Amino acid sequence: MTGQALAGPDGKPRCPWGLATEDYVRYHDEEWGRPVHGDDALFERLCLEAFQSGLSWITILRRREGFRRAFAGFRIASVAEFTDADRDRLLADTGIIRNRAKIDASMANARVLAGWAPGELDALIWSYAPDPASRPVPRTLADVPAVTPESAALSKTLKKQGLRFIGPTTAYALMQACGLVDDHLADCVARGAATT
């Protein structure tokens, strides 16, 4: 694999990772890199990116509905009220990744965010979106960073606010997934398809 955009099943060029499975094609074309707004929606992405740490994204993607059921649709107010009994329920739920540290972080993060004003998480995360004109357009996968100054700063700010399991790499994956940056390759059919 050259790391350059490759023709998909419809002949249109896509980022190579977006062709690995049918689930990836759909996620690549319809979600990844498109703007996500709303505190609960961004909380879901924060949680899922944390659960993905050390795993393949396809593992999370295929269990996303299970995660949504288990975590009350990722409504911050609901998850903030989870108890030890909920933790035990989550640890026994085969529809999600049963990692105690990640479950505890999701619950703790919800408790922190429940004290924020509506829209505050959205505003904070989006304040770290870099100026698109300042970023080179990636031509190959080798041109796509794993961490940027903005993701390091976002991670630092979230940690300072009390959030857990959100290092610079996870923060950058969040930025990519939620459309703060457009890391679709230059020749990819999805490049520039979304706007904030």
- Residue 37, marked binder: no
Give the three-state DSSP class for 53.
coil
What whole-number distance in Å separates Cα of residue 107 and Cα of residue 78?
10
- Which position among 57, 128, 150, 172 bears the catalytic label? 57
Determine whether 32 is an active site residue. Answer: no
- Residue 47, marked binder: no
Distances (CA, A) of 41 to 35, 44, 46, 75, 176: 11, 5, 9, 8, 15
What whole-number distance in Å separates Cα of residue 186 and Cα of residue 74?
33
- Residue 178, marked binder: no
- Which position among 17, 24, 27, 172 bears the catalytic label? 27
- Which position among 32, 44, 49, 128 bears the catalytic label? 49
Give the three-state DSSP class for 120.
helix
Annotated binding site for Zn(2+): 15, 28, 184, 188
Annotated binding site: 15, 28, 184, 188
Catalytically active residues, by annotation: 27, 49, 57
